[in-house]
Structure 1
Amino acid sequence: MRCNHSFTYRESAVSSTLVQEPEAAPTRPARSGRHANTTLVVLFLSLGGLSFALLQSLVAPALPAISADLQASVTDISWIMTAYLLSASVLTPILARLGDMAGKRKIMLVVLVLLAAGTVVAGLATSLPVLVAGRVLQGAAGAILPLSIGIVRDELPKERVSVTVGMLSAISGIGAGLGIVLAGPIVDHLSWEWLFWLPLVLVAAALVGVAVGVPESPVRTPGRLDLVGTFVLSVSLVSLLLAISKGRAWGWDSGQTLALFAVGVVGLVAFVLVELRVREPLIDMRLLAIRGVWPANAVGLTFGFLMFGTFLVIPTLLELPAATGYGFGKSITQAGLFLLPTTLMLIVFGPVAGILARKYGAKLPMVLGAVAGTAAYALPAVAHDQLWQIVASGLLSGAAIGLVFAAMSNAIIAAVPATHTGQATSVNAIVRTVGGSIGTAVVAAVIASDVTPQGIPTDHAFTLGFAVCAAVGVLAIAAALAMPSRRARAGASDEAGSAGSADDVDAELDALTAGH
């Protein structure tokens, strides 16, 4: 009688886990006798994610103050945001892949040390180049979310995974919202350096907590880092994001901008070709073809756009002088407070999305979030002359981001083998970053396209900005509807489970991508 060494890719309402049949050879080491306090594990991972998200947005409202103090031009000071963005985009897939290979806790500690070092450098900076160098180090922490999701999937009981992943995913939006809220009071009452010293407390707590309270994940993907793919992807992402971030300042039709776009696009094509040919790719292209993965990445791209649209358009409108007839004359601090409802909704709906994903699958909260996100911009596109309309838009936006961010992560971990969690979730983090860059550039360009003789954006410019975001929300709905239902995903899991092969994970990925 022939022994069939096969793997069953079983999907529960929480997540799909690579489960070994009794006669199969092991693919993941047995857990050590160490039993971690899972509540503390989640707490320490949350602190790390919150500190990264805070540092991402906390600086943005303070750029004028930093520019004046360091005597830097408006164009030069934007490198504070651009450097952070480029570093996070390039290092996230590399560090997530190393986490899958060498151990997620080990790489998480490296990432937190880099984040702490960068925060200290930024806090001590007395010149723009030093501050930008600190921001580059901080950007390495973009890998915190993929590493955290991998640790949660490997360490927590299955029934807690979806809600916990929902909370960790929502924290990226919560931190971004809190950063906008807190920046004004910190700069007004302390100084811009405290934008780094205060989050450093969270970073230090997360570092100590992970060191003493988080066990090393037993799931590994042995191999070597794909250096060629790493180089090609880095060049491509840097070129694309530089073109997007600097295109408005340099001119969208300038030779410099167009050349960077060309290098970025050609680089992405070259990266795909390289990854399809190497034995141990940085990102396995088959992951991106899984039906539960590519719609989640498409939604991630659109919601990266929408989230930064919220954090750009609404504060700008609130801070315009009331004498314009459509501005509300709020200070930076007051405008930030109007984003508190958005942040509170994120706190609530992140875990709610995890509960919905556990009971009904990730598609439902993703569709609901996409609909709410579209409504969040359709409302002010119709009318935004009353404060209640701004608050209602913020509430809808917070609920949408909380639902979608959590649903995306749950959809991905439910669709890929545990050994590939870092790769798959890092791609989602990258597309969100790219979407945020595109959203910031496009919305800023739309608002600046129609200004008064004094250089103030007109009411029509804001209407158009909200309308553009609503249109992107419709694209998010279409992508969310393309997600497989729970029944369809269960069928794919059964198909993967019947794909017996000596090279088990490769066989499973082939089965999961077949027909999709």
Structure 2
Amino acid sequence: METGGTTSPAARDAGLTSPAARDAGLLAALGTAVFGYALMQTVVVPALGLLTRELRTTPAWSAWILSAFLLSSAVLTPLMGRLGDMHGRRRVMVGVLIAYVAGMAGAAAAQDIGQLIAARVVQGEALAVVPLSMAILREALPRERLPFAMGLVSGVVGAGGGAGLVVGGLLADHLSWRYLFVLGALLALLSLAMVWRYVPAARHDASGRLDLPGAALLGLGLVAVLLALTQGPSWGWTSARALGLFVLGVVSAVVLIAVERDRAHALIDVGELTDRPMLATHAAALVFGAGSYFFYLGMPLFAQQRPGSDGAGFGASVTVAGLLMLPGMLAIVPAGAAVGRISASLGPRGPLACGFALFAVGAVLMALGHASYWQHLVFYAVVGAGSGLVMGALPKLIADIVPLARTGTANGINNIARTVGSVVGSQLAAAVIASTAASGRAAVPDSAFSLLFWLGAAVAVAGAVVSPLAVRRKVPPNSGSV
């Protein structure tokens, strides 16, 4: 394994003999890759209505533009992380980015909703760039640089998600929806070139074979649960289809645990999942994903809605609705980069707990007051700062828990937990909004938006409660942690 103390062949070939230059190039390459993925995760959200009209489809089918992406991400991410652990993270990331470019090109050229959904399935595998990036940082950087680097890259993920809402609004308002995916393809090509040049090739850390039975069971369970969550509102939560999918998800999880428990090269380390710090880390990712989507869906809807009888809404354009989230997006990056300093001052529990506390404070402020533009700008900036700390703390905590050989896989599972939380949060938000439509209101009342922001505060408090449990008191020997 190569570390930051030596110059890798790839770095020497690129002319980056200086450690500072090598580290800067590495961070730029990985930051660009994860930003491109995160941007495309949310860039289609403001354009869903436009896509429904342009492709002459229904809202139910257009919702699959998001759902297919999330399902594909959840299923493929742990597989890509495991392949990276086995065969080299740089090699697998290059393959992921090549497939991502193909998915973007397919989406830009799509002629109907079916083609676009198929292209989004291909795009979903790009979530793997996040756990692969964390594993690459851990193997390539010296230990004193790792907290800053992981926090910075994690912050870029959050910033990209927020930027997608802004960029998506601009392109949807002023250009064709196809430019959403042209932009994604250009970013993917740039990422591919930078990864090829700046990311060092290191020896793989894990041996064995890819656990195909485990992958199949994990994929089946995730698809069943996420499909039930995304389709539950339209099918009915007590319908036979929804309940059957939930049961299938539970059965798949039980069988997966039984199969993986005694497997030599298991995709899912059962002991790792039942380990209290790891379980708490995944729980923190899940509640964070849920809390984020209360704001991703609630704030743009409030901004674009024409004021109702109770004054809820600004009647703003899609572009302005996205810009209101810009301060929160910008706050994520410096907050994530500060994880190392906060951890040094307050201990390993500090960044995650402080992040959830800031998130809760911002959510409470939004719940109490959101009738003015300045409140959205300022209060969501507080939420964004908290989000940056949470996102930066999670991969660092995982690095303290698992051996280097499982870094990509463990971060992949953590990203799955966050994805599931995002689906749960989006469906809860949709249920709150739909309940007002069922009552015959022309506009979503202010009380519904307040409830969304209170829900955000509640899950952040839950995350703060879980945070102290996500730290191992004593790192096991030979773990490779930093």
What's the CA shift string for 1:131-154, capped at 9, x where partnerless?
Answer: 111101110111101101111110
How big is the shift at 1:444? 1.2
1:240 maps to which residue? 225
1:326 is aligned to: 312
Letter of the structure 2 residue corresponding to residue 96 of structure 1:
G
Aligned pair 1:124/2:115, yes or no? Answer: no
In the alignment, the residues of structure 2 paired with residue 154 and residue 292 of structure 1 have an alpha-carbon distance, to the nearest angstrom, of 22
Q: Determine if contact 1:354/1:410 at 8 Å carries over to the other structure.
A: no
1:423, 1:361 → 2: CA distance? 26
Letter in 2 for 1:460: S
Structure 1 range deviating more: 50-59 or 286-295: 286-295
Determine helix, strand or coil for the equivalent of 1:167: helix
Identity level (%): 35
Report the equivalent of 1:467: 454
Instruction: Name the counterpart of 2:389.
Output: 403
1:354: which partner in 2?
340
8 Å CA contact retained: 1:18, 1:417: no
How far did residue 119 of structure 1 move? Answer: 0.3
Trace 1:35-434 onto structure 2 (pairs within 5 A): 35=11, 37-324=22-309, 325-434=311-420
Q: How does 1:442-461 map to 2 (within 5 A)?
A: 442-451=428-437, 453-461=440-448
Shift of 1:32: 5.3
Aligned partner of 1:351: which letter? Answer: A
Q: Is 1:482 aligned to 2:463, yes or no?
A: no
Q: Distance in 2 between matches of 1:54 and 1:34?
A: 28
Q: Secondary structure at the residue paired with 2:261?
A: helix
Letter in 1 for 2:54: D
The CA distance in 2 between the partners of 1:391 and 1:187, in whole Å, is 22
How far did residue 33 of structure 1 move?
5.0
- In the alignment, which residue of structure 2 is the partner of 1:501? none
| In 2, Cα distance between equivalents of 1:34 and 1:333 | 42
- CA shift, 1:442, in A, is 0.6
Answer yes or no: is the 8 Å Cα contact 1:103–1:217 preserved in 2: yes
Structure 1 runs of 4+ aligned residues shifted over 6 Å read none
The structural deviation recorded for 1:298 is 1.0
Please tell me whether the aligned partners of residues 333 and 388 of structure 2 are also in contact (alpha carbons under 8 angstroms).
yes
The code of the aligned residue for 1:141 comes to A
Query: 1:400 aligns to what SS in structure 2?
Result: helix
Partner secondary structure for residue 144 of structure 2: helix
Aligned residues: 468
Alpha-carbon displacement from aligned partner over 1:198-225 (angstroms, at most 9, x marks no partner): 1221110111121222111234101101
Partner Cα separation in structure 2 for residue 456 and residue 267 of structure 1:
41
Q: Which blocks of at least 5 consecutive residues in structure 1 are unaligned?
A: 1-16, 20-29, 498-503, 510-516
Give 1:387 deviation, angstroms.
2.8
1:18 shift after superposition: 13
Would the alpha carbon gap of residues 459 and 259 (structure 1) be closer, same or farther in structure 2, given more than 3 Å must change?
same
Pairwise CA distance, 1:423: 1.4
CA distance in 1, matches of 2:288, 2:45: 19
Which of structures 1 and 2 has the bigger CA Rg?
1
Structure 1 distance, partners of 2:318, 2:150, is 33
Aligned-residue CA RMSD in angstroms? Answer: 2.0
The range that moved more, 106-115 or 318-327, is 318-327
Q: CA deviation at 1:297?
A: 1.1
1:448–1:461 CA contact under 8 A, matched in 2? no
Superposed displacement of residue 293, structure 1:
2.1
